[in-house]
Amino acid sequence: MIGTDMLDRVIGADVYDNDGDKIGTASEVFLDDQSGNPEWVTVKTGLFGSKETFVPLRDADLTGNGVRVPVSKAAVKDAPKIDQDGHLSPEEESALYRHYSLSDSTTTTTTDTTTSNTSGFAGTSGIDTDRDRTTGTAGIDTDRTAGFQETNQHGTVGHDTSGPTTDDAMTLSEERLNVGTQRVEAGRARLRKYVVTENVTQTVPVSHEEVTIQREPITDANRGAAYDGPAISEEEHEVVLHAEQPVVAKEAVPVERVRLGTETVTEQQQVTDTVRKEQVDTDGITTGRNAGTTGDDRSLADKAKDALGRNDNR
């Protein structure tokens, strides 16, 4: 059983159903008006935890993983949609009891109330609107004697009109933004090679042979060759001519290596969201230093200036 001393372990914990399936995250705990015991917990469900559903804490247990409740995940999903306004009406609570097939604790709670000493005094029980507190009787007295200060069964001054009284002060909370980053895929880059054709022109020197006629006179050196053969005859000489032609051959050679890489670039982005916070207001305070105000928001420097001004005027 979960008691009020375990609430700090409940709020923010993961909530699991009776089969061990995770339902969501515990957000706020609602206490029974009469007994003060934890009765309901709102569980944040959905993709971003934007939906809150009432889940019973009766017979729930704290485990190493979080809170295990005696209902199914499907039952929580189909639970009645109730606005979270700080207090459950009897009709809303009865609807939740019927949905989760739980016995309504209204009768038991009423019995406990009538047999308890709501005034904080021991000896008698019940709520008495006409008894004098100075006589030693209990109850809520509408004719209080001077100087009497009301306490209740929790030992605190006054009583909580919106729920069970736990101590003599209320806690103010506020939401704060916890901004972080997460790594997501922002796009893809590809490196692809393909073949293109282009014309390349180069100049290459080429040579060829041409025929020339060489004439030489008859001398003693060539006279023998000149008189060799018949005196008059027909004769034919031939010479082979050569020429160079351009020859083109292609080969593939590596010229460069290309690869993909990444670099991290940091930029500043502003994140804007709305947060809630609780403030305190007073009602019915007509005497004392805080009379007619809801709090002094002035800075200490302003207060000091006012004090110096009053001393100078004396």
**CATH number of the structural domain spanning residue 84:** 3.90.50.10
Confidence of residue 192 (pLDDT cuts 50, 70, 90): very high
**Is residue 304 included in any domain, yes or no?**
no
Cα 94 to Cα 88: distance, rounded to the nearest angstrom: 10
Q: Which residue type, as a one-letter code, is found at position 52?
A: E
Q: Model-level pTM greater than 0.75?
A: no
For residue 302, the model assigns a pLDDT of 58
**H, E, C per residue of 123-141:** CCCCCCCCCCHHHCCCCCC
For residue 68, the model assigns a pLDDT of 92
Using CA atoms, how far residue 236 sits from 213, 233, 258, 264, in Å, is: 14, 10, 68, 87
- Domain range for 18 is 4-114
Region 194-207: mean pLDDT is 94
Question: What's the chain's Rg over C-alpha atoms?
Answer: 51
More confident residue, 160 or 45: 45
**Is residue 92 included in any domain, yes or no?**
yes
The backbone region for 20, taken as left when phi is positive above 0, alpha when psi lies in -120 to 50, beta otherwise, is left
**Is residue 279 included in any domain, yes or no?**
no
For residue 244, the model assigns a pLDDT of 94
| CB contact at 8 A, 282 and 290 | yes
- What residues form DSSP beta bridges with 44? 25, 52
Predicted confidence (pLDDT) per residue in 68-100, tens digit: 999 999 999 888 888 777 678 888 888 999 999
**Is residue 171 included in any domain, yes or no?**
no
**Is residue 85 included in any domain, yes or no?**
yes
| CB contact at 8 A, 29 and 60 | no
| CB contact at 8 A, 27 and 43 | yes
Coil, helix or strand at residue 187: coil
- List CB contacts of 118: < 8 A, sequence separation 6 or more: 127, 138, 139, 140, 152, 153
- List CB contacts of 205: < 8 A, sequence separation 6 or more: none
Q: Residue for token digits 């704290």?
A: 62
**Is residue 255 included in any domain, yes or no?**
no
Domain count, the chain: 1
User: Half-sphere exposure (CA, 13 Å, Cβ side) for 294?
Assistant: 5
Question: Rounded to a whole number, what is the distance in angstroms from the first to the last CA of the chain?
Answer: 65
Lowest mean pLDDT among 31-45, 142-156, 182-196, 269-283: 142-156
Lowest mean pLDDT among 183-187, 216-220, 293-297: 293-297
**Is residue 41 included in any domain, yes or no?**
yes
